[in-house]
Structure 1
Amino acid sequence: MPKPALLYLCHRLPIAPFKGDRVRTRNQIEYLSTQFDVYLGCFTEEQSIDKNALRELQGLCKQVYVEHHKKFGALLRCLWGLLKGEPLTCAYYKSAGMQAWVQRVLANQHPGNCWLSATAMALYVLNAEDVHLFTDFIDVDSDKWRQYAERSHFLMKWLYRREWQALKWLELVTTERSKRVYFVSTSEADFFKAMLPKSLQDKVGVLRNGVNSAYFSPDYYPCTSEERIDVVFTGAMDYRPNIDGVLWFLDHAWPLVREAVPTATFYVVGLAPDKRLLARHGLLGVVVTGKVDDVRPYLGKARIAIAPIRLARGVQNKVLEAMAMSKDIVCTHLAMEGIDAKCEGIWIEDEPTNMAERIVSLLTGPSRPNHCREWVLKHHQWKDMLKPMESLLNERH
């Protein structure tokens, strides 16, 4: 029996998942492909694509349309969008080619359902008829721009405030059009509900992130004393919240750790590190790796994983992955938002002095119980996290 068609739109090609949204979309596509012929439309800014990974994705989907996204052209579209009053996030991803492909799929395949991953793709289908729209906002993207505005000055403050308001409008319009909208945590969903009229609040649901606990397993990357890393941070280092958090930690907490433990090492592991981070490489035991093929060896060797996040919405996958690797974790309250973990092995510290003292205590004190992996196995397996998508399956007719 043929499977019904489903249109799936996301703004990043979900392979080589260095970022949390790619991990999420990839697992959703794998889940949906068991029940639907998935027509995937997405963008990539990468010059070269892993052909094996792309073939694997194509094996899950009926059709994969990938548009190569050039940053210079996207920035020109943003300037035009600024004049027209559009959300710059949407202007950045506006494409006649993508719109034409979407229209062909709608006209030829007649998908009864469309799954949107992230706000940026909404304008491609808001006016589509006879399609049930399900939107995975993941987090309240508009509020991220409000946070940026609070930490900026002059022109950038105005620009970020403008984007905040424009995306709030788009999130509202998309919710009105959608049968259901999802967020990564209850706290994120509740935050968004407070922004909505009561007539729309019942549309809001939760679709939590999972972890591939077989992939992120301490069994494959045991830590030995000869190759130990004392402290590690993993994440895309061209992402502002990650840059902000690591620089704050380096400026205010790490010098205190080094005073107490002069041989301590801190590895910053992630692609495209900011030049301000590269300038710290080799100083005070800091190693900035840049892009790596696999973060697991670094997590496996690490004594402590940190997440000093000060700008955030949603759930930090880096925390869940470190938990799955049975790492002791020192992080801010924001880094744990949406992860209601009550287990030994996690310490929440928002002040740099307290964070440094906690790290020193963990590095110099006796080993302590760590139940992080057990908690992840119980509460964040992908097969369980994706069950709310069954509401879409039930709507397919």
Structure 2
Amino acid sequence: MGDILFLAHRVPFPPDRGDKIRSHHLLKGLAKLGRVHVGTFVETDQDREQEASLAAIAASYCLPTRSKSLPRAGMEALLGNRAVSQAAFFDAELAKWVGDTLARHPIDKIFVFSGQMGQYIPSDFAGQVVVDLCDVDSEKFATYAQESGFPRSVLYRREAALLTAEEVRLARSTDTTLLITEKEADILRARPGAERADIRALGNGVDTEFFDPAATDPHPALAGQGHHIVFTGQMDYPPNIAAVERFARRILPAIRERLAAQFHIVGRAPTPEVAKLACIAGVKVWGEVPDVRPFLRSADAVVAPLMLARGVQNKVLEAMAMARPVLASEEAATGIDATDGQQWRICRDDGAFERAILDLAADEGQAKNMGRAARRFVVENMSWEAVEAGLADILGQAEARHHDAA
């Protein structure tokens, strides 16, 4: 195997949010297969501090700062008749580096993480190309369009249409297209033009040595009386915002009529609308914390009441690895084949979340058994080692098989 070119829309360090967790472990898996050259972006000073970690694993790298404003990206997208998501991640420096790197090094495989980076694949590259879309982003924007009023609905509809065309183009012109779940893969397979593409599911994993309750101390603020319910996630992400608003406003008040419950919202960059939830009795908004594990370790229950979710939710896997009873919506449960009622609870409406919290609070033994079963499930079935093995199988194919140059 020759060298590998890895392109990602965010620097894969530290692995502390959904996309970075996946790209981090995929990069580690690729580095076990050969020398990897990495092109990726930094967005903050904290991202720039990760350069040493990137240098330690990459044979060479390009790390430009992504500072393009959304209005500028929108204007470029309109002028170029392409998605805003693509325009936002185009950088001339990175494009030049890709060409120079392919000319200087014996690269025979390109691995693209996220659809925004597909624009950097040279049309004349003769080696194997794998693109990991993670989720079908066009479907997400189509949902946003349905749920939004004018003029946002028009903008979202345009983004959905252009991303659909790009996703199909990538599926047809690359050797293998990856999605996190079979459900997402089926969505793309059903797109006109993608019927003959090699589209596969490669799931997420969880680091069960890092997320281990035996190696984590409880959080002192959650050690007092009361029933502690925890949600973790990036708190400027619309589906997470909607999830915590749903729980804080619609579910928690009914629970508190019968149980002294506290709802802890843990995650970086809470928006003003999330911060306002702290005014509701029993809600604590923590914002960014150094480590989510003590919160998970101390939780009586972890909830994932998402109404829109794409792919496997890392937050759910991490809570299960920490041996917590997890209560998830059907949307948040996608791609995790745990058994409802044994390794977690699937809650199909607000009342189901309320009943599950009260049931588990009344039966401590049931809650502990569910947590133990949850950890056993992820240790046995959802490790990153298994994901890396699947990646090695895909990259180990003898010949590239470009489907369609269109």
TM-score band, normalised by shorter chain:
over 0.9
* 1:178 equivalent among 174, 183, 187: 174
Per-residue CA deviations over 1:203-240 (Å, capped at 9, x if unaligned) read 01121111100000111225598347610000000111
Mean Cα deviation higher: 326-335 or 276-285: 276-285
1:339 counterpart letter in structure 2: I
Q: Which residue of 1 aligns with 2:404?
A: none
Q: Which residue of 2 aligns with 1:188?
A: 184
2:58 counterpart letter in structure 1: C
Task: Say yes or no: does 1:212 pair with 2:210.
Answer: no
Per-residue CA deviations over 1:136-169 (Å, capped at 9, x if unaligned) read 1111111111111121111111111111110000
Q: Which residue of 2 aligns with 1:75?
A: 71
Q: Which residue of 2 aligns with 1:392?
A: 395
Contact 1:45 1:71 in 2 (8 A): no
Contact 2:171 2:194 in 1 (8 A): no
Aligned partner of residue 335 in structure 1, secondary structure = coil
Task: Say yes or no: does 1:383 pair with 2:385.
Answer: yes
Contact 1:136 1:181 in 2 (8 A): yes
2:61 counterpart letter in structure 1: V
Contact 1:75 1:92 in 2 (8 A): no
Contact 2:188 2:194 in 1 (8 A): no
User: How much is the aligned-residue C-alpha RMSD, in angstroms?
Assistant: 1.9
Cα distance in 1, alignment partners of residues 109 and 320 from structure 2: 35
Contact 2:168 2:188 in 1 (8 A): no
Task: Say yes or no: does 1:234 pair with 2:237.
Answer: no
Return the offset for 1:347: 1.1
Return the offset for 1:196: 4.5
Contact 1:333 1:349 in 2 (8 A): yes
Equivalent pairs, count: 391
Cα distance in 2, alignment partners of residues 59 and 274 from structure 1: 35
Cα distance in 2, alignment partners of residues 236 and 211 from structure 1: 17
Contact 1:227 1:301 in 2 (8 A): no
Task: Say yes or no: does 1:252 pair with 2:255.
Answer: no
* 2:19 equivalent among 18, 21, 27: 21
Mean Cα deviation higher: 6-15 or 225-234: 225-234
Cα distance in 2, alignment partners of residues 293 and 10 from structure 1: 25
Aligned partner of residue 267 in structure 1, secondary structure = strand
Return the offset for 1:386: 2.0
1:254 counterpart letter in structure 2: L
User: TM-score scaled by structure 1?
Assistant: 0.93
Q: Which residue of 2 aligns with 1:167?
A: 163
Return the offset for 1:339: 0.9
Mean Cα deviation higher: 190-199 or 107-116: 190-199
Q: Which residue of 2 aligns with 1:119?
A: 115
Cα distance in 2, alignment partners of residues 266 and 106 from structure 1: 51
Contact 1:7 1:39 in 2 (8 A): yes
Per-residue CA deviations over 1:342-367 (Å, capped at 9, x if unaligned) read 26141111211221122122223332
Per-residue CA deviations over 1:146-205 (Å, capped at 9, x if unaligned) read 11112111111111111111000000101111111111112221222122447524x011
Aligned partner of residue 132 in structure 2, secondary structure = strand
Mean Cα deviation higher: 145-154 or 226-235: 226-235
Return the offset for 1:292: 1.1
Mean Cα deviation higher: 381-390 or 110-119: 381-390
* 2:361 equivalent among 356, 360, 363: 363
Task: Say yes or no: does 1:136 pair with 2:163.
Answer: no
Cα distance in 1, alignment partners of residues 111 and 292 from structure 2: 30
Alignment of 1:1-397 (within 5 A): 4-49=2-47, 51=49, 53-72=50-69, 74-197=70-193, 199-201=195-197, 203-221=198-216, 223=218, 226-227=223-224, 230-261=228-259, 263-281=260-278, 283-342=280-339, 344-368=342-366, 369-370=369-370, 371-390=373-392, 391-395=394-398
1:260 counterpart letter in structure 2: R
Cα distance in 1, alignment partners of residues 294 and 124 from structure 2: 46
Unaligned ranges ≥5, structure 1: none
1:393 counterpart letter in structure 2: G
Contact 1:207 1:386 in 2 (8 A): no
Unaligned ranges ≥5, structure 2: 401-406
Q: State percent identity of aligned pairs.
A: 29
Contact 2:248 2:263 in 1 (8 A): no
User: TM-score scaled by structure 2?
Assistant: 0.91
Cα distance in 2, alignment partners of residues 395 and 46 from structure 1: 40
* CA 1:48–1:385: 2 relative to 1, 3 Å: closer
Cα distance in 1, alignment partners of residues 277 and 169 from structure 2: 44
Aligned partner of residue 46 in structure 2, secondary structure = coil
Cα distance in 2, alignment partners of residues 184 and 226 from structure 1: 36
Cα distance in 1, alignment partners of residues 72 and 184 from structure 2: 32
Cα distance in 2, alignment partners of residues 314 and 362 from structure 1: 27
Contact 1:115 1:134 in 2 (8 A): yes
Contact 1:231 1:306 in 2 (8 A): yes
Per-residue CA deviations over 1:235-261 (Å, capped at 9, x if unaligned) read 000111111111112121111111111
Return the offset for 1:55: 1.9
